[in-house]
């Protein structure tokens, strides 16, 4: 018998609608960071040995040009990666977001990394950019990052699962009886089951999904689930909530 819990998680601690949220190893950027700006610096990827960028945007053809005009590059523009290109970086087998790496000293020198906004009137569109400085970040080796809109049927993998979406989303998790799942409203860099993380982020819930299946709603751009049992079969599925009520 399957027990179904539906628990809306309201992220009162962090106000994600005001743009960048800065953590010790990472930042989350949203559309508000770009509105009215010709460029913004991605500090996590400036003058560091190694950083990763994970992107999630909406799959809406009407927004294609807006996303194309948001381009990551160094200040000298020797290379350009549009949000469309970054968002297309997905592992077709695992459905993971393949991060874009910036490696200092390689053909894409780190220097200072920016996103440029080439849109008329510097408009933007819903987006999530999760930028992580990996120079001293220990969790990334055990983490897999997904877009809520394309996890699909679910999967079995590893210790930390991070989910991104520009819209609120639901996640459903299941695991074996011995596994404790701990949910954070942050990226993998703050997903420590004992809340012993660099930014003192408290977990929002923890459960043993082995007793059933747990579905919860995330009203923010990111969630991470830490599974205590690395050996077990941990399943996560997710979907973005397309119908969002209009605020104001
Ligand atoms: C990157 O985009 C900018 C702005 O459109 C352009 O000036 C520059 O030449 C591009 N760089 C490359 C390598 O295509
Ligand atoms: C996708 O992920 C699998 C499993 O981690 C890996 O073996 C494979 O090389 C990845 N594919 C690509 C194209 O990176």
pLDDT of residue 246: 37
Per-residue model confidence as pLDDT tens digits over 200-245:
888 888 888 776 677 888 888 999 998 887 665 667 777 776 544 4
Burial of 68 (0-12, 13-18, 19+ CB in 10 A): middle
Q: Looking at per-residue confidence, does 216 or 135 come out higher?
A: 135
Residue nearest to atom 11 of ligand 2 (CA): 91
Residue nearest to atom 12 of ligand 2 (CA): 91
Rounded CA separation 109/105 (Å): 5
DSSP string, 121-160: GG---SEEEEEEE-TT--GGGGEEEEETTT-TT--B--SE
Q: Do domains 3-12+139-240 and 17-133 have the same CATH topology?
A: yes
Could you tell me the pTM of the whole model? 0.89
CATH assignment, 17-133: 2.60.120
Best CA proximity match to 130, nearest among 19, 26, 15: 26
CATH assignment, 3-12+139-240: 2.60.120
Q: Looking at per-residue confidence, does 243 or 150 come out higher?
A: 150
Residue 78 near ligand 1, beta carbon < 6 Å: yes
Mean pLDDT over 153-173 rounds to 80
Q: Looking at per-residue confidence, does 246 or 70 come out higher?
A: 70
Q: How far is the CA of 83 from the centre of ligand 1 (A)?
A: 14
Residue nearest to atom 5 of ligand 1 (CA): 118
Domain residue spans in the chain? Answer: 3-12+139-240, 17-133
pLDDT at 101 over 90: yes
3-state class (DSSP) for residue 52: strand
pLDDT at 58 over 90: yes
């Amino acid at each position: 018998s399957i027990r179904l819990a539906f628990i809306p998680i309201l992220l009162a601690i962090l106000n994600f609608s005001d743009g960048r949220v800065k953590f010790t190893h990472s930042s989350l950027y949203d559309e508000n960071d770009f509105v009215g700006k010709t460029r913004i610096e991605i500090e996590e990827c400036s003058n560091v040995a190694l950083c990763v960028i994970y992107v999630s945007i909406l799959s809406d053809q009407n927004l294609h040009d807006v996303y194309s005009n948001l381009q990551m590059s160094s200040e000298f523009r020797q290379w350009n990666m549009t949000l469309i290109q970054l968002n297309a970086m997905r592992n077709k087998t695992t459905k993971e977001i393949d991060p874009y790496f910036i490696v200092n000293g390689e053909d894409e020198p780190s220097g200072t990394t920016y996103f440029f906004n080439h849109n008329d009137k510097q408009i933007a569109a819903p987006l999530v950019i999760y930028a992580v400085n990996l120079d001293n970040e220990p969790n990334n080796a055990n983490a897999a990052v997904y877009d809520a809109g394309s996890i699909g049927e679910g999967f079995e993998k590893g210790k930390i699962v991070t989910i991104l979406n520009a819209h609120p989303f639901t996640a459903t998790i299941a695991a074996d009886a011995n596994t404790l799942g701990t949910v954070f409203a942050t990226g993998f860099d703050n997903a420590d089951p004992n809340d012993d993380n660099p930014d003192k982020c408290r977990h929002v819930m923890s459960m043993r999904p082995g007793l059933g299946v747990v579905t919860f709603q995330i009203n923010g751009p990111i969630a991470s689930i830490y599974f205590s049992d690395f050996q077990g079969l941990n399943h996560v599925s997710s979907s973005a909530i397309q119908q969002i009520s209009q605020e104001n």
